[in-house]
Amino acid sequence: EFLTNVSHELRTPLTAILGYSSMAIEDPDRAEEHIRTVRRNGEHLLAVINDLLDLSKIESGKMQIELVAVDIWGVIGELAEQYRQRAEAKGLSLAFETRGRTSGKLRTDATRLRQVLHNLLGNAVKFTDRGEVGLSVAYSSEYEDAGWLEIRVRDTGVGMSKEHLSRLFRPFEQADASTARRYGGTGLGLAVTKRLVGMLGGTIEVSSVLGSGSEFVVKLLMAEAPDEGRAGETRERPDASANQSLVGRRVLVVDDVADNRRLVSMYLTKAGAEVEVAESGHAGIEAATTGRFDVILMDMQMPGMDGAETTRRLRSLGVATPIMALTAHVMADYRVSCLEAGCDDFMSKPIDRVALIASCARLAKDHRAAA
């Protein structure tokens, strides 16, 4: 049954991706409309894959929680603004309030906390057609150096029946077939959310009235933390103005897949970079040792000499150019192995164009400053 559900959730967006790709070719006048549909379904497919991987990692005990000092109110405020914009795009309002302490740092895993909030706020906006979404945050210091953070997410959406509430946190559960058809989604997000909340040392409860809306309450026990620098604080996402940040930079792209080489090259060229490509590890070594580059982008899963071995050989030959690993692997231990091989940075596929350009600009700048 699990494989049947997985197959369905993968094939559904793939059907749209393949179908609308063909339509874009056959009907150029509506190509933009079709391509937007392809992108939307591609993003949905990526979300399904990420949820499946997270669920698998959690249930196999391989999900790692990293507790650091986090500006909780900065993280939540950033997400509140992001979802306020999404709500307003649907004609909804988002009410955000904080109670009690609103500054200082608490120890948690910022990435997983964001994931929990993304799932809850995303569902609230998605399942609400009129009215508002509410987000409230309260912290109470009940112990000498720890306290409870309470997060409430409510909506005036479709709500749920008591029967559905009893199976809400099971994988692949939706309220009913009509809800799934109307709003989309896999039912994986809340299954992952409940498990993540548990790993963060908390609880999640839900109340709902069919036709009136729902409220989720997350309670997390968090230790208070002294100021330990900027760990876990919010950072602004690079703006699209990064398109011009690689002017005058030379970048070597090493990848055995022609489509990937072409796509990454287009990203970089549009950003002003001069790009050279290599289709194998051996070709990459030849190019890197005979030319001058500011950054090397290294695919890690190449036949013959893979990216890790290519990187090790480049380092042994004295090549100090920054190398960024590009890989479809997302496990934390694989990231470590790439860095141990000599890579300076790591980016998971599919590649985010703005993040790629910003990372290349940073690596190139740091390299020239150190030269």
* pLDDT tens digits for range 238-294: 444 444 589 999 999 999 999 999 999 999 999 999 999 999 999 999 999 999 999
Q: Give CA–CA dist 333/57, Å, rounded.
A: 12
Whether residues 76 and 211 share a domain: the answer is yes
Residue 119 lies in a domain: yes
For residues 266 and 308, the answer to whether their CB atoms sit within 8 Å is no
Domain boundary among 176, 201, 225: 225
Model pLDDT, residue 102: 76
Residue 353 lies in a domain: yes
Whether residues 218 and 244 share a domain: the answer is no
Domain that holds residue 20: 2-59
Whether residues 36 and 162 share a domain: the answer is no
Backbone φ and ψ for 25, nearest 5 degrees, come out as: -75, -40
Burial class (CB in 10 A: 0-12, 13-18, 19+), 155: buried
Model pLDDT, residue 243: 46
Residue 161 lies in a domain: yes
Model pLDDT, residue 175: 47
Helix, strand, coil distribution of the chain in percent, nearest 5 = 50, 20, 30
Residue 48 lies in a domain: yes
Q: Give CA–CA dist 65/200, Å, rounded.
A: 7
pLDDT, one tens digit per residue, over 166-179 is 888 887 665 454 55
Residue 14 lies in a domain: yes
In the structure encoding, which two tokens stand for residue 368, read together?
């020239």
Whether residues 286 and 325 share a domain: the answer is yes
Whether residues 159 and 28 share a domain: the answer is no
Whether residues 43 and 79 share a domain: the answer is no
Model pLDDT, residue 330: 66
For residues 134 and 95, the answer to whether their CB atoms sit within 8 Å is yes
Predicted TM-score of the model (pTM): 0.66
Model pLDDT, residue 69: 92
Q: What is the Rg, in whole angstroms, of the alpha carbon atoms belonging to the chain?
A: 23
Domain boundary among 164, 197, 225: 225
Residue 232 lies in a domain: no
Model pLDDT, residue 90: 92
For residues 265 and 253, the answer to whether their CB atoms sit within 8 Å is yes
Whether residues 127 and 266 share a domain: the answer is no
Whether residues 72 and 221 share a domain: the answer is yes
Residue 253 lies in a domain: yes
Number of domains in the chain: 3
What are residue 220's DSSP bridge partners? 149, 202
* Ranges in the chain, pLDDT < 50: 175, 177, 180-183, 228-243
Whether residues 261 and 325 share a domain: the answer is yes
Whether residues 196 and 129 share a domain: the answer is yes
Whether residues 177 and 252 share a domain: the answer is no
> In this structure, what CATH number is given to the domain that contains residue 10?
1.10.287.130
Domain boundary among 16, 32, 59: 59
Cα–Cα nearest to 133, from 141, 142, 123, 124: 124
Whether residues 82 and 204 share a domain: the answer is yes
Helix/strand/coil for 299: strand
> In this structure, what CATH number is given to the domain that contains residue 105?
3.30.565.10
Residue 329 lies in a domain: yes
Burial class (CB in 10 A: 0-12, 13-18, 19+), 230: exposed
> In this structure, what CATH number is given to the domain that contains residue 294?
3.40.50.2300
For residues 127 and 185, the answer to whether their CB atoms sit within 8 Å is no
Bridge-based pairing state of the strands 105-108 and 68-70:
antiparallel
